[in-house]
A = this chain, B = another copy of it.
Amino acid sequence: MQILNNPNKNQWSEILKRPTQTVGDIEDIVNRVFSDVRKEGDKAIAKYTERFDNVILDNHTITSNELDAAAANVPIALQEAIRLAKQNIEAFHHAQKTTRIEVETAVGVTCWQEKRPIQNVGLYIPGGTAPLFSTILMLAIPAQLAGCKEIVLCSPPNKEGHLAPEMLFAAKLCGVTKIIKVGGIQAIAGLTFGTETIPQVHKIFGPGNQFVTVAKQIATKFGVAIDMPAGPSELLVVADDTANAAYVASDLLSQAEHGTDSQVVLVSTSKNFLHKVSEALEIQVKSLPRRAIAEKAIANSKLIYMEHDVVALDLINEYAPEHFIICCENEDFYVQGIVNAGSVFIGNYTPESAGDYASGTNHTLPTNGFAKAYSGVNLDSFLKSMTFQKITQEGLKNIGPAIELMAAAEGLEAHKNAVSIRLKDIFNY
């Protein structure tokens, strides 16, 4: 496997390029589905479910009987694992609750900030070969903690027209209020406009393929908020000779198995370590069930030798990895210095898998360099920060004249007048 040797800063953007996708063609399809769902509601939902998922459903909504029956089909040990994960995720997100922030900015002028829940949220969980119940935990737990009233889950039905029992089990456990068997563009369109079956929501969360990603982007045009734009998952590891090459290889592969377009980068100030990981990768990949996918992703991966930690940190911040593992003796240097990353994993016994499932942090994170501006999903993603203020007569005396001057300077006389009319009364008392 090729090792990049201390690349110059002007090469970084080329080296760190993510696979780009053209969305032009997809937008046409998305617009058509949106227009149909908006006009025809459930009829269009059924039509596209038949076309894209090859299933004809009488009823897209999961009944309470189906929900109650699910647990019987989930092994007890897995149920317990899910409960443990829930407990940790809940503890970490509960700690993120903030209290009202109140400041008397001037005498008689009291301002405060409070957070209130987004009332209706939609959670999208992709279908595919495996049931991604872990993402249900990551989205439904903070939604419930935040106090969202309606928590709607959409996920495409499998060929038999069902959702996996693990998903139903997790959804019930985490307080999802409605589950609908609908996937892809039509699910996002349904959540955007509402149909007879699908409630209209104010914000849509969750990962998906490029059709879902473009659909979420289009949804924002219709006034629906989204958690963040999505891209293929990615991992950057910085490690030195104190790290364990086999562990690092296993982490890189856990990322690589997601898809052929997954991004895997290893940065090290030790050439020797890079060679050791390269060898470990070649051995470990052979025994993976998803070997074909992982091999392709690994072929596109980058092993980068950097002479200096300071420059390595610059490169990492320039890349802005979704997942960032630090296995270095001087781990504090990287922990303090990282400004652009979704989630950071520190030390030899902190695999990325821990955060994917059960340590308590959220696994819905900004990819594709979006960590430069976006947070991963957290409790605040389900809340809005609102401001309040109450001013007394004395307060308006204190700040009113400044408001009058500023409003007049901006040419907004009615703004000024709203203060003047009150000040006149106050001074005449």
Contact = CB atoms under 8 A, between A and B. Distances in A.
Interface in A364-381: 368-376, 378, 380
Interface in A89-124: 91-92, 95-96, 98, 101-103, 105-106, 109, 111, 113, 116-119
A417 B360 CA distance: 20
A109 B359 CA distance: 7
A133 interface: yes
A393 interface: yes
A72 interface: no
**Copies of this polypeptide in the complex:** 2
A351 B415 CA distance: 9
B253 A389 contact: no
B357 A403 contact: yes
Given A103-B95, A131-B409, A362 B376 contact: no
17 contacts: A81-B405, A92-B113, A95-B103, A106-B359, A116-B338, A131-B409, A202-B372, A225-B373, A250-B421, A253-B414, A290-B412, A338-B386, A340-B384, A342-B386, A344-B389, A355-B389, A361-B387
Contact of A391 (B80, B317, B347): B347
A74 to B, nearest CB: 9
B344 A399 contact: no
Interface in A386-429: 386-393, 395-396, 399-403, 405-407, 409-419, 421-422, 426
Interface residues of A, number: 130
A201 B271 CA distance: 34
A258 B412 CA distance: 8
A277 to B, nearest CB: 13
B418 A250 contact: yes
Contacts of A376: 385-387
Contact of A96 (B113, B257, B354, B414): B113
Interface string A253-292: 1101110000000000000000000000000100011100
A88 interface: yes
A5 interface: no
A300 interface: no
A221 interface: yes
A419 B353 contact: yes
Contacts of A106: 84, 88, 359-360
B417 A253 contact: yes
Contacts of A133: 406, 409-410
